[in-house]
Structure 1
Amino acid sequence: MTAPADLTPAERRVWQAFPRGEGVDFRESVDDDPAAGGSWGPERTVRAEVLRALLVGGPTSEGDIAGLKLTGARVSGQLNLMYGTVDHPVRMRSCHFEQAPNLYGARLPVLVLSDSVLPGISAGNLRVDGVLRLSCCRVTGPLRLQGAKTSGAVFLNGARLGPPDAPGTPSNPDAPGGPDPEASEEPVLQLNHAEIGTDVWAVGLVAHGQVRLNGATVGGQVNLNDGELYAPPGDTALHAETLSVGTDLHAMRLHAHGRINLSGARIPRQLNLSYARLSNPEGQALRASSCVIGELWLRDAAPIKGAVNLRRSQLDLLHFPPEVWPERVRIDGLSYRTLAPHLPAERRLPLLEREEDGYLPYAYEQLTAAYRTAGDESAARTVQLAKVRRHRRTLPWYARFWGLLQDATVGYGFRPMRAAGWLLLLLCSGAVAFALHHPHALKPAEAPDFNPVVYTLDLLLPIIDFGQEGAFAPRGGYQWLSYLLIVTGWILATTIAAGASRSLSRQ
């Protein structure tokens, strides 16, 4: 193709370098800020229509690999490659785009826009045979990549998305958290239903608006370490329902002002939120319901501000310190094999009281199973005792009275030594009383020698007969004492039998 006659000197440099894949760098210094590109003159300006002509049908040089390699340029007009097929790599670093490029349905081998400033990107259903690199870009409008497919990774590390002066930014820390709601109606990053061949690398991403990954498929990992996500109060900062990743979702030291929604996600290895700060006081701060996750880590995370929803999720390991849990949780149907760090049951039980749906027997059974997996049978019994005590609150008054009696005597069978203590106390009291005042023998000639200890045992044990109870008959107040021992013995025997039955059923 012959070069157009109206090319400017800057455009001619780009046109001549393209067939050989050579780079053109318009920067005056490596510290040039592309945010100031609106003031760059014609010596650094390239029209978008010239770039389009190069990419769609530009000249080639035999023996060379053609490609666009441009640095520090101002791109005037709109780069429109909608539905176009580009056979050459596109690398435009530290450039300033006056209008949002339209790459909808386009196909490219490689697309690099690192360190550039753009008012937005429209690239739905984009196809990239290699990597899509948007590292350290500043995109003030929506970055639309819904339905995009890449065989390589997507790089968004250090990128800043959304309005540049949104409230709550690090440069404006005294402003209210979150961006202007009117500027955040559309997600600032749309990767929903995208198919990424390897990783989504977004370390240090700052997004003022919603990041949308719902329905996306990532072959490797999603890395949001050190990211900052700002959403309007009560809105969603990360919307990743049914996200499927090949390995991990790392979000260590993530600061999220808004809901993290991972409902239905599939993360076979780690969902790592260690050292994270999650805040959405007006609603749910973390929703990870119906998920299948290998390990969920919140080690050394800040106390969560807002509710946590883990209903019906399946985990192998849950590392969730008690001090991180908020006051409102939903854990109905949550299953996990191992709970870390290993703590006394008394530290874990208050969480089960915070369940928004009230008493959930399954939550106690799951915690019991985790302690038994760890070999801590004592903690497992403590959880089971807390379960029946919590259940007692839901019963009518007469059933609660019987439960209180079982709790006080044998701890519902989970405290068997308590029954032995009661029996020993009653035995000693009765033996002392009857030793000081022997009961009258019914048939003195046939009565055995009186033994106060054995006589008290005969009164206390309803089944065993030592021959003392039928041979002697106390009178007055001692007769009432014998009645009390008999009734107490029956109650103890019944509660012990109930506790033993419960213990055997657990075995």
Structure 2
Amino acid sequence: MEITDLTPAERRVWEAFPLGEGVDFREDEDEDPVQGASWGPERTLRAEVLRALLLDGPVRDDRIAGLKVWGARITGRLDLKYGTVEHSIRLRCCHFDQAPDLYGARIVALVLNDSVLPGLTAGNLRSEGVVRITCCRIAGPVRLAGAKISSAFFANAARLGTPDDETPEEPVLQLNHAEVSTDVWAAGLVAHGQVRMNGATVGGQVNLENAELYAPGGTALHAETLTVGTDLHARGLRARGRVNVSGARIPRHLSLTGARLSHPGGQALRASSSVVGELWLRGAAPVEGVVNLRGAQVDLLHVPPEVWPGQVRLDGLGYRVLAPHLPAERRLPLLERDTDGYLPYSYEQLSTAYRTAGDDAAARTVQLAKLRRHRSTLPRYARLWGYVQDAAVGYGFRPMRAAGWLLVLLCTGTLAFALHRPPALKPSEAPGFNPFVYTLDLLLPIVDFGQQGAYAPRGWYQWLSYLLIATGWVLATTIAAGVTRSLNRQ
């Protein structure tokens, strides 16, 4: 393209390019580029001119060339597909009539802050510096699948998609299988459609604080097998649709503090098989939908009981520390909400967490709840012995309960036999009758004080003695089982 073909606006940009200087077409710094379609030729640039400038524009040895423009309307398609651009591209507050195509391009940096675009195609992009769409308004999809960005990706406060189309067929932001050397910064992002990051690798953190993701009935955040170097911050996240981080690797924090997750009738949060340092849902609203943490491994799990939904999937969930520290009675109802039914591992995991915290009493409460829940899965005839052990000694976790039963029976028998002394079998040989020792002899199946064999009660007192003997055997057996279980725990 000859220089004589340029319009006055294009000539300004052409002359500023080799000097690395910027050209500002704005009449007011606060003007809205949404109105850019009405901008006149005095601030209109043809995409073919920018393409020629970037690929083969004039340069000077003593200056660093670069494209720096504010407030221009760009007509036509900026086609840099598979091209190599050795200069930075900065097109701020601009209005694009067509979506730029940078598929497979190699660039130094791309900055489109505050611009309005119908879309952006940049799959397999290679960027030596940052890629910024900060505060951009982009109606169509932003395609960055497979991109390799040697610095950071910024989409903070960007608005993607349109409110009238909350469930577009194509994700509005595509970073699947992308590689970002430092951070993905998307705080305040508003996306009307899916944000896809599955298989992406981020060297630093992913920041989605106060982002709003709308995909009702679908997946708002698809980040399966995402790998980050430090954290995934999503404090204050608003998500209508599933948040899917299944298989993700997040070594430090997955923070959903103050978040609102809503996907009624489906999984609101899926983090199955993920490995997370700390998972935080402190201050979050009650989750609307299922929470799936099957097979996840978390070092610290900070989720208040009121945040959990009515249905969860916790099979294989492992954690070392559970916060905030609460009585076991407040944590146990969660295990009854598991859609997979009774899962012994979930009770063992909760009990282990309490022992790690040094709360042995809470750990015993969890173990008792586990046995009671297991009892409910048995046939009716098999539950009877469980009820006996529970009532007698709390399956060995409430040993003082047996002492209470023994004391009650001992007092009852002592009083009954004191009021009605049973006759001796051999009066001349029988030892002196002692109602307390006689009752104790009936209750203790192993110890023999010589009273039981010397006296034979009659009538209903005989039936009382049978009851004491049978009850003594039951209590002795359950106490032995409880002692054995206690020794096994130690």
C-alpha contact 1:3 1:15 (8 A) present in aligned 2? no
1:303 partner SS:
coil
User: 1:44-59 counterparts in 2 under 5 A?
Assistant: 44-59=43-58
- Is 1:115 the counterpart of 2:114 in the alignment? yes
Report the CA distance between 1:397 and its aligned residue. 1.2
2:68 partner SS:
strand
Structure 1 counterpart of 2:180: 196
- Is 1:22 the counterpart of 2:21 in the alignment? yes
Structure 2 counterpart of 1:124: 123
**1:10-36 residue CA offsets vs partner (Å, 9 max, x unmatched):** 000000000100000000010111110
Q: 1:322 aligns with which of 289, 305, 323?
A: 305
In the alignment, the residues of structure 2 paired with residue 445 and residue 302 of structure 1 have an alpha-carbon distance, to the nearest angstrom, of 81
Structure 2 counterpart of 1:218: 202
**1:108-151 residue CA offsets vs partner (Å, 9 max, x unmatched):** 11111110000000000001101111110111000000000011
Report the CA distance between 1:443 and its aligned residue. 1.9
Structure 1 counterpart of 2:105: 106
User: 1:371-390 counterparts in 2 under 5 A?
Assistant: 371-390=354-373
Structure 1 counterpart of 2:11: 12
Report the CA distance between 1:500 and its aligned residue. 1.6
Output the amino acid matched with 1:282.
Answer: G
Q: Structure 1 244/180 Cα, relative in aligned 2: closer, same or farther at 3 Å?
A: closer
In the alignment, the residues of structure 2 paired with residue 344 and residue 180 of structure 1 have an alpha-carbon distance, to the nearest angstrom, of 42
C-alpha contact 2:212 2:237 (8 A) present in aligned 1? yes
In the alignment, the residues of structure 1 paired with residue 188 and residue 309 of structure 2 have an alpha-carbon distance, to the nearest angstrom, of 26
User: 1:247-286 counterparts in 2 under 5 A?
Assistant: 247-286=230-269
Structure 2 counterpart of 1:505: 488
User: 1:129-140 counterparts in 2 under 5 A?
Assistant: 129-140=128-139
In the alignment, the residues of structure 1 paired with residue 342 and residue 486 of structure 2 have an alpha-carbon distance, to the nearest angstrom, of 22
Structure 2 counterpart of 1:425: 408
Q: Structure 1 327/37 Cα, relative in aligned 2: closer, same or farther at 3 Å?
A: same
2:4 partner SS:
coil
Report the CA distance between 1:180 and its aligned residue. 4.3
Output the amino acid matched with 2:64.
Answer: I
Report the CA distance between 1:4 and its aligned residue. 2.7
1:447 partner SS:
coil
Report the CA distance between 1:3 and its aligned residue. 4.4
1:406 partner SS:
helix
User: 1:84-483 counterparts in 2 under 5 A?
Assistant: 84-163=83-162, 166-167=163-164, 179-181=165-167, 184-231=168-215, 233-483=216-466
Report the CA distance between 1:475 and its aligned residue. 1.4
1:493 partner SS:
helix
Output the amino acid matched with 2:31.
Answer: D
Which runs of at least 4 in structure 1 moved beyond 4 Å after TM superposition? Answer: none
**1:286-308 residue CA offsets vs partner (Å, 9 max, x unmatched):** 00000000000000100000000
Report the CA distance between 1:337 and its aligned residue. 0.2
C-alpha contact 1:120 1:142 (8 A) present in aligned 2? yes
Report the CA distance between 1:278 and its aligned residue. 0.2
Structure 2: give runs of 5+ residues left out of the alignment.
none
Structure 2 counterpart of 1:40: 39
In the alignment, the residues of structure 1 paired with residue 359 and residue 388 of structure 2 have an alpha-carbon distance, to the nearest angstrom, of 27
In the alignment, the residues of structure 2 paired with residue 62 and residue 342 of structure 1 have an alpha-carbon distance, to the nearest angstrom, of 65
**1:282-341 residue CA offsets vs partner (Å, 9 max, x unmatched):** 200000000000000000100000000000000000001000000010000000000000
Aligned residues: 490
Structure 1: give runs of 5+ residues left out of the alignment.
168-178
1:307 partner SS:
strand
In the alignment, the residues of structure 1 paired with residue 61 and residue 452 of structure 2 have an alpha-carbon distance, to the nearest angstrom, of 117
Output the amino acid matched with 2:197.
Answer: L
2:3 partner SS:
coil
Output the amino acid matched with 2:366.
Answer: V
**1:173-220 residue CA offsets vs partner (Å, 9 max, x unmatched):** xxxxxx444xx1000000000000000000100000000000000000
In the alignment, the residues of structure 2 paired with residue 244 and residue 76 of structure 1 have an alpha-carbon distance, to the nearest angstrom, of 38
Percent of residue pairs identical: 74
Report the CA distance between 1:450 and its aligned residue. 0.9
Structure 2 counterpart of 1:493: 476
1:38 partner SS:
helix
Report the CA distance between 1:424 and its aligned residue. 0.1
In the alignment, the residues of structure 2 paired with residue 243 and residue 221 of structure 1 have an alpha-carbon distance, to the nearest angstrom, of 11
C-alpha contact 1:410 1:496 (8 A) present in aligned 2? yes
Output the amino acid matched with 1:141.
Answer: G
Output the amino acid matched with 1:196.
Answer: V
TM score, norm. by length of structure 2: 0.99
1:81 partner SS:
coil
In the alignment, the residues of structure 1 paired with residue 459 and residue 111 of structure 2 have an alpha-carbon distance, to the nearest angstrom, of 101
> What RMSD over aligned residues (CA atoms) do the two structures have, in Å?
0.9
In the alignment, the residues of structure 2 paired with residue 396 and residue 159 of structure 1 have an alpha-carbon distance, to the nearest angstrom, of 59
C-alpha contact 2:166 2:214 (8 A) present in aligned 1? no
TM score, norm. by length of structure 1: 0.96
Report the CA distance between 1:5 and its aligned residue. 1.6
Structure 2 counterpart of 1:171: none
In the alignment, the residues of structure 1 paired with residue 59 and residue 466 of structure 2 have an alpha-carbon distance, to the nearest angstrom, of 110
C-alpha contact 2:3 2:11 (8 A) present in aligned 1? no
In the alignment, the residues of structure 2 paired with residue 102 and residue 229 of structure 1 have an alpha-carbon distance, to the nearest angstrom, of 25
C-alpha contact 1:249 1:271 (8 A) present in aligned 2? yes
**1:396-443 residue CA offsets vs partner (Å, 9 max, x unmatched):** 111101111111111111110100000000000000011111111122
Report the CA distance between 1:477 and its aligned residue. 1.5
